[in-house]
Amino acid sequence: MHPGVPQTGVKSGTFTIPTSGHDFSGNTRYRVTLTVTDSTGLSDTKVVTVWPTKVNLTFDTVPTGLTLYIDGIARTTPFVYDTLVGFSHDVEARNQGVGATNYTFASWSDGGAQQHPLVVPGTAHSYTATYTASSPPVVPAFVQIRSATPQTPQSTVALAYANAQAAGDTNIIAVGWNDATSTITSVTDSAGNTYQLAAPVRRGTGLSQAIYYARNIKAAAAGANTVTAQFSSAVPFADVRIAEYSGLDALNPFDAASSNSGTGTTATSGNVTTTSASELLVGAGMTSGTFTGSSAGFTTRIITPIDADIVNDRVVTSVGTYSAGATQGGSAYWVMQLATFRAAGQ
């Protein structure tokens, strides 16, 4: 019950029922109490109940199941709101997030603003707020890396991922060795993933390297997926580095690559220009000396035992021209490559 302002000392009058600031849903009614007192002090009271005209308003969202606000009170759609004809409500379709999806207000079916007053019509009516859905950008992420560095010539090098692998991730493999004549005949794994060439073999002085990848990989238990690199002959100082990344495009992750070779204390892959806003840049290098660290902006993921070869990476959030690099402990021959991969949703 919400008492109105009493009127006393009058024989007639009017009063205005407020049309906002109150929830009139449910069993709403007005009760008017009239008390008359004569000159002798005798009084009589009569009570009249007035049932106002009500109407049902239906509210929904596209997609359904989002939250709307009626006079500041949150309600999950779809819902029916019973109210008084002529009453004024404040309706609001706030931007909101559900799980990993963000919903931004686009329009009301009555053409109103995101938050606007609504005067209840004389007949039942439906109101729908339409939203635009968007997911936050997927950020590629490093998962794991291992290396094999046999110190005697080998025609086959095999090693397994130490940790479990998640379905949909991407395997990126850097295969290098210490001659400039042998070739890679295949890169395979025991999970049945298919490997493609990202950065073709680059030859340096006594050094060779290539980068492969397998997209949308199959799930595998810890230690269950073994990657095998096969060479055309037994190669000296093979260095196979196997990495796993999440958040890359499942259908077409590879974008571009660049390769370079030289001598000195700094190795650089040369420039590559990306074509999508969010990309993973993976650098890999072979050296006749010792890599000691990565160029600015890159994170060193591994410098392999004994051989001191490198894999590094970074994630960029805008289209641009980039290169990968690494520093050496002294002047030495090197091969440096860069392969870029699109984030999921790009």
State the pLDDT at residue 293: 97
DSSP three-state, residue 317: coil
What are 104-160's pLDDT values in tens digits? 999 999 999 999 999 999 999 999 999 999 877 789 999 999 999 999 999 999 999
Residue ranges of the domains in the chain? Answer: 54-134, 141-342
Question: How many other C-beta atoms are found inside a 10 Å radius of the C-beta of residue 147?
Answer: 21
State the pLDDT at residue 222: 98
Given a cut of 70, whether residue 28 has pLDDT beyond it is: no
* pTM confidence score: 0.67
109-129 b/e (C-beta count within 10 Å ≥ 16 → b): eeebeeeeebebeeeeeebbb
Length of the chain equals: 346
Percentage of the chain modeled with pLDDT above 70: 92
DSSP β-ladder status, 101-108 and 125-134? antiparallel
Given a cut of 80, whether residue 225 has pLDDT beyond it is: yes
Query: What's the mean pLDDT in 200-226?
Result: 98
Going by C-beta distance under 8 Å and a sequence separation of 6 or more, which residues neighbour residue 247? 138, 139, 140, 141, 280, 343, 344
Query: What's the mean pLDDT in 87-102?
Result: 90
Given a cut of 90, whether residue 3 has pLDDT beyond it is: no
Judge whether 60 and 77 are in contact, CB under 8 Å: yes
DSSP designation for 218: P
State the pLDDT at residue 19: 60
Reported confidence tier of residue 2, pLDDT bands at 50, 70, 90: low
What are 29-46's pLDDT values in tens digits? 667 778 888 778 798 888
Rg (CA), the chain: 36
- pLDDT: is 18 or 149 the higher one? 149
DSSP β-ladder status, 154-160 and 141-148? unpaired
Query: What's the mean pLDDT in 64-78?
Result: 96
State the pLDDT at residue 29: 61
What rounded mean pLDDT belongs to the chain? 92
